[in-house]
């Protein structure tokens, strides 16, 4: 596997997210900036092409009409398995947000360590604006991410420490932003 698969994954993710005009919640930027940031974070700790491709593709199945089968057809079984590990499995009928997040956390706990590395990068990148943009939601979101970290210890140790730091900084900022 070469860098070609990473380039192909980046283009595939861009097309998939653009096909639904997906935008970032707080900035209204094209959504692809998020997978790009996740992939760049992952690239600081590994050059594994499958992991980097999965970083680009990590939200494609969850957010667009693309299926795991399409990912497997385009990128092979290994990358498809990583993307499946990174895709939430809970459904709205599974209960409230807390119950759904518990189901998704168990799915993540059972996933490949490479997927856990991508998930750590996802946590790091998603926390950047949440405290400033939506402090009310940030309280619950940070709780969810702390629980998620408990099952991500098999991910890359450097990203694990960074995720812990980002969560601690976000909690500190949240406490200091209260009147």
Q: In the prediction, which pLDDT does 176 show?
A: 82
Q: Could you tell me the pLDDT band of residue 2, with boundaries at 50, 70 and 90?
A: low
Q: What is the CATH number of the domain that holds 97?
A: 1.10.3210.10
The confidence band for 156, taking pLDDT boundaries of 50, 70 and 90, is very high
How many domains are contained in the chain? Answer: 1
Q: Which residues contact 74 (CB under 8 A, 6 or more apart)?
A: 8, 12
Residues identified as active-site: 62-63
Per-residue pLDDT tens digits for 20-56: 999 998 889 999 999 999 999 999 999 999 999 999 9
Three-state SS letters, 123-176: HHHHHHHHHHHCHHHHHHHHHHHHHHHCCCCCCCHHHHHHHHHHHHHHHHHHHH
Q: What is the pLDDT of residue 179?
A: 59
Cβ of 72: how many Cβ atoms within 10 Å? 16
Please, what is the Cα angle at 81 between 20 and 93, to 5 degrees?
60
Q: Distance between CA atoms of 71 and 165, rounded to whole angstroms? A: 33
The one-character DSSP state at 96 is: S
What's the pTM value of the predicted model, to 2 decimals? Answer: 0.95
**Could you tell me the residue range of the domain that residue 46 belongs to?**
3-177
pLDDT at 69: 99
Please tell me the predicted confidence (pLDDT) of residue 39: 98
Percent of the chain with pLDDT over 70: 98
Backbone angles phi, psi at 3, to 5 degrees: -65, -20
C-alpha Rg value of the chain to the nearest Å:
16
Contacts of 100 (CB under 8 A, 6+ apart): 88, 90, 91, 92, 94
């Amino acid at each position: 596997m070469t860098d070609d698969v990473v380039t192909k994954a980046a283009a595939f993710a861009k097309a998939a997210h653009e096909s639904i005009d997906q935008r970032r919640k707080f900035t209204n930027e094209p959504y692809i900036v998020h997978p790009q940031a996740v992939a760049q974070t992952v690239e600081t700790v590994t050059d594994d092409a499958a992991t980097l491709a999965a970083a680009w593709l990590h939200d494609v199945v969850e957010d667009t009409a693309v299926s795991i089968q399409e990912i497997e057809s385009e990128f092979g079984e290994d990358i498809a398995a990583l993307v499946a590990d990174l895709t939430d499995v809970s459904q709205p009928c599974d209960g409230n947000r807390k119950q759904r997040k518990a189901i998704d956390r168990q799915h993540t706990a059972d996933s490949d360590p490479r997927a856990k590395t991508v998930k750590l990068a996802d946590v790091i990148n998603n926390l950047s604006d949440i405290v400033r943009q939506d402090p009310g939601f940030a309280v619950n979101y940070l709780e969810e991410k702390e629980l998620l970290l408990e099952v991500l210890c098999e991910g890359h140790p450097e990203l694990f420490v960074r995720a812990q730091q980002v969560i601690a900084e976000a909690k500190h900022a949240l406490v200091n932003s209260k009147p």
